[in-house]
């Protein structure tokens, strides 16, 4: 008997991607001219280390396509760059 762990991984990735997108939207409301570096710093400060690890692992497992599936286009590149930055500090 095998256990399918892909669905929960995908679900947690979707939730985390949505959370990051919400953070970016909040920042956009308060600082619409935030640079990419400011966006990355804002999200990195708001996300717990354990959640960062889970996102890194989910990105490794599901690939960039898995993240793309859950995000609106304006935030896609920023979120992927943030997660990649956590993976390769």
CA pair distance 63, 14, nearest whole angstrom: 13
The tokens describing 75, both together, are 């935030």
- Using the Cα atoms of residue 6, residue 58, residue 16 and residue 24 in order, give the sign of their dihedral: negative
pLDDT, tens digit, 9 for 90 and up, residues 24-76: 999 999 999 999 889 989 999 998 888 888 778 777 776 667 666 666 667 77
With contact defined as beta carbons under 8 Å apart, do 22 and 75 qualify?
A: no
pLDDT, tens digit, 9 for 90 and up, residues 11-20: 667 777 788 8
Look at residue 8 and tell me whether its pLDDT is greater than 60: no
Look at residue 10 and tell me whether its pLDDT is greater than 50: yes
Using a cut of 0.85, tell me whether the model's pTM lies above it. no
């Amino acid at each position: 008997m095998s256990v399918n762990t892909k669905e929960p991984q995908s679900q947690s990735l979707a939730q985390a991607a949505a959370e990051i997108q919400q953070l970016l939207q909040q920042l956009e409301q308060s600082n619409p001219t935030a640079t990419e570096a400011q966006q990355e710093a804002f999200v990195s400060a708001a996300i717990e280390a354990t959640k960062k690890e889970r996102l890194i692992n989910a990105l490794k497992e599901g690939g960039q396509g898995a993240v793309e599936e859950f995000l609106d286009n304006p935030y896609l590149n920023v979120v992927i760059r943030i997660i990649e930055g956590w993976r390769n500090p």
